[in-house]
């Protein structure tokens, strides 16, 4: 797995139109908190179970990507869910998995707020919100 800062990942996505950009957060997170433009939402886990189903996740990604050698760029809230999701993809034979470090909202600051220290939004990259 390759790890890229949000700015690096955005530049990579812009330079490789065949790359698939996946948001592994729950659908409600992706829609209401915001998400990068053009991202495809395939949750690592979903409400109400909140338990990962790696096989179902991998199958859904295979259906979207179709080529295990195609670049898959993963983003979540803080860059942690994407680690497990990326490892599941690699175990299933995906060969070019990229994790967006710090995710969409970044790490928590001393006041337990996100998007103040790091992450996609902190870096001023494009995003949209429902």
| Domain ranges, ordered by start, for the chain | 2-100
Q: Identify the segments of the chain with pLDDT beneath 50.
A: none
Residue 88: what pLDDT? 98
Task: Give domain 2-100's CATH number out of 3.50.50.60, 3.40.50.1370, 3.40.250.10, 3.30.420.40.
Answer: 3.40.250.10
DSSP state, residue 80: S
Residue 130: what pLDDT? 84
Q: Alpha-carbon dihedral of residues 89, 91, 93, 98, nearest 10 degrees?
A: 40
Residue 95: what pLDDT? 98
Residue 20: what pLDDT? 98
How many C-beta neighbours within 10 Å does residue 63 have?
9
* H or E segment to which residue 88 belongs: helix 81-91
Residue 126: what pLDDT? 98
Residue 100: what pLDDT? 98
Count CA within 13 A, CB hemisphere, residue 39.
28
């Amino acid at each position: 797995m390759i790890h890229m800062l949000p700015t690096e990942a955005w530049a990579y996505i812009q330079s490789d139109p065949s790359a698939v950009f996946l948001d592994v957060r729950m659908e409600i997170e992706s829609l209401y908190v915001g998400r990068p433009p053009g991202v495809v939402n395939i949750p690592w886990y979903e409400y109400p179970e909140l338990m990962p189903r790696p096989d179902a996740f991998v199958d859904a990604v295979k259906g979207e990507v179709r080529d295990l050698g195609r670049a898959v760029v993963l983003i979540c809230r803080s860059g942690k869910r994407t680690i497990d999701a990326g490892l599941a993809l690699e175990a299933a034979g995906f060969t070019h998995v990229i994790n967006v470090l710090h995710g969409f909202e970044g790490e928590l600051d001393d006041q337990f707020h996100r998007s103040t220290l790091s992450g996609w939004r902190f870096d001023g990259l494009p995003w949209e919100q429902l």
